[in-house]
Amino acid sequence: MSAARRNGTDRSPTPLTWLYAPGDRPEVVRKALLSGADVVIVDLEDAVAPHRKAYALDATADLLADPSPVPVHVRVHSPYDIPTLAPLPGLHGLRLPKVTHATDIHRIAALAPGLPLYPLLESALAVEHAYAIATAHPAVRGVALGEADLRAELNVREDGGLDWSRGRVVVAARAAALPPPAQSVHPDVGDLEALAAGCARGRAMGFFGRAAIHPRQLPVIERAYLPTPAEIDAAREVVAAADAERGAQALPDGRFVDAAVVAGAHRLLALASRTA
């Protein structure tokens, strides 16, 4: 494991696409590594039947015995998985399902010193504790919602019923100085229009990127989250105006420019540079 990964000095861009692959199907994981996803998440939890958990852990350990071509995280099934996974050179982070308290993070961090941790908030109690979980330990590098379980617990019948929880997690992440969270998966791999619409809504709410369960979803997520040419042009105008004259000002088209707007423009241009 690299020193940068252990001590938190890695400055690589925030991932935009996160692709899940079942841990008991190593051939699918290998394909995922070549899919173009920014991060591959090997799933030892929901995607694996109970009688195949042990095999999935062994297969994942074999796969991650060598460095991987892209960052690989593992969504663990149990803390008992962690001693097997933590030393592996191909592992870059742990996804922690069903976290509800900050103390859950402390226990996991003790089992995997220095390994980046990504708690998944999948219950009402976890959402209530979002900020405490996000700030529980320096090893926490991001938080995200697990919407399927949360939807079931809250008996939510329409997608908008999760908006308050989504906003809570976005605010908790930013208050904790973590990257903006990625959206939860869109489970219908055949409905790419709904995926695109959901991504557009997530971007408007402050999310960044999205987890996927099939490679065909990746280009849709990228298009939704990468800035459009019009957005890039507008950001360049803001930056140029700020460079020419310090302080708050109004552009000829009426847009108000202050320090926060300039910072946002710089973030957008940095994101646009990922496609250059």
Which backbone phi and psi does 250 adopt, to 5 degrees? -115, 135
pLDDT score recorded for residue 12? 53
Q: What share of the chain is helix, strand, coil (3-state, %, to 5)?
A: 50, 15, 40
Helices (H), the chain: 3-7, 26-33, 53-63, 82-85, 102-111, 124-128, 130-134, 147-154, 163-175, 192-205, 218-225, 229-244, 259-272
pLDDT digits (tens, 9 = 90+) for 135-159: 999 999 999 999 999 999 999 999 9
Asked if 76 and 95 touch (Cβ cutoff 8 Å), the reply is yes
Percent pLDDT > 90 in the chain is: 79
Element (H, E) at 73: strand 72-75
Per-residue confidence band for 275, with pLDDT thresholds at 50, 70 and 90: low
The mean per-residue pLDDT over the stretch 196-212 comes to 97
The pLDDT value recorded for residue 252 is 79
The two counts, helices (H) then strands (E), for the chain are 13, 9
Q: Which two tokens stand for residue 153?
A: 């617990």
Average pLDDT over residues 9-16: 64
**If DSSP codes are grouped into helix, strand and coil, which group holds residue 46?**
coil
Average pLDDT, the chain: 92
The average pLDDT across 127-137 equals 98
Q: Using pLDDT thresholds of 50, 70 and 90, give the confidence band for residue 1.
A: very low
Using DSSP's 3-state secondary structure scheme, residue 52 falls into: helix
Average pLDDT rounded to a whole number, residues 213-232: 94
Residue 92: other Cβ atoms inside 10 A: 23
Which residues have a Cβ under 8 Å from the Cβ of 153 and sit 6 or more positions away? 123, 124
Give the closest residue to 222 by CA, choosing from 257, 272, 180.
272
Per the rule left: phi > 0, alpha: psi between -120 and 50, beta: everything else, 80 is alpha
For the segment 204-222, the average pLDDT, to the nearest whole number, is 97
The pLDDT of 206-216, averaged and rounded, is 97
The whole-number average pLDDT for the span 110-128 is 97
pLDDT above 50 (res 4): no
pLDDT at 7: 35
Q: For the residues 186-214, what does the mean pLDDT come to? A: 97
Summarize the confidence of residues 205-232 as an average pLDDT. 95
If you search the block for the tokens 């938190």, which residue do you land on?
Answer: 8
Weakest-pLDDT range from 2-11, 52-61, 148-157, 255-264 = 2-11
What's the pLDDT at 99? 97
Cα gap 262→229, rounded to integer Å: 18
Can you tell me the mean pLDDT for 57-64?
98
Q: Which two tokens stand for residue 70?
A: 């892209």
What is the rounded CA–CA span in Å between residue 224 and residue 208? 10
